[in-house]
Amino acid sequence: MLKRVEAVYSGMVQGVGFRFTAQRLAEGLDIKGWVKNLPNGAVQLVAEGSEDNLHKLLGQLKTHFKDDIKNAGINWQEPTGKFSDFRVAF
């Protein structure tokens, strides 16, 4: 089943390779969407793919950045199907 997840990560998540790691992991899981830094120091991720692969992505990010993520706001939604790839947004 396809799903959409919107996540906002806070903590020490900028300047640690979070966006490019998220992009690499998402591409390996056939997930589409984007990730970007927010002005308040957080990172926002919007991703669509199979629910299983989205859970894998979130788990891998949590594991990889366990010392950097202080809070993760996760919001599950229905997919829009508007993404063709996964990219770092600016």
The amino acid that residue 28 corresponds to is G
**Quick one: which of 53, 58, 50 has its CA closest to 22?**
58
Contact between 36 and 47 (Cβ < 8 Å): no
Among candidate residues 37, 71, 75, 87, the one labeled active-site is 37
Q: Is 87 a catalytic residue?
A: no
What is the layout of strands, in order, in the sheet containing 69-77? 69-77, 2-11, 43-50, 32-37, 86-88
| Given the residues 4, 19, 53, 87, the one annotated as active site | 19
Known catalytic residues? 19, 37
